[in-house]
Amino acid sequence: QVQLVESGGGLVQAGDSLRLSCAASGRTFSVYAMGWFRQAPGKEREFVAAINRNSGNTYYADAVKGRFTISRENAKNTVYLQMNSLKPEDTAVYYCAADTDPAPWRLANKNNYDYWGQGTQVTVSS
């Protein structure tokens, strides 16, 4: 079992930056691949970014590639999402998630994740 708590969301203007954090507790954090997803009102939860266990590989949705960066510090049991050049269409609740199976082909599919945080709201005004 692992518990995930997101933080760092807020209201910003287009072009601003935010850094989301996801703190994990419980089972050893380093065994999990980690992902960030987001869900806008009336839309399905969608993949944003993922990182494997040892930060050797990262994966991004096309919509955020070049603007967002996922990273992790296993010593701090934390995964981050640095979001730059934010756009109004980035407005959503952002969730972090943990997957015990690090196979790359799994990481963009929300159904493959075992644990989820409660989410943090990001609102980008134009």
User: What would the pLDDT profile of 80-100 be if each residue is shown by its tens digit?
Assistant: 999 999 999 999 999 999 998
**pLDDT for res 89:** 97
User: What would the pLDDT profile of 30-84 be if each residue is shown by its tens digit?
Assistant: 889 999 999 999 999 999 999 998 877 999 999 999 999 999 999 999 999 999 9
Residue 29's pLDDT band (cuts 50, 70, 90): confident
Q: What is the 3-state secondary structure (H, E, C) of 49-92?
A: EEECCCCCCEEECCCCCCCEEEEEEHHHCEEEEEECCCCHHHCE
Residue 4's pLDDT band (cuts 50, 70, 90): very high
**pLDDT for res 1:** 83
**pLDDT for res 102:** 78
**pLDDT for res 30:** 85
**pLDDT for res 51:** 95
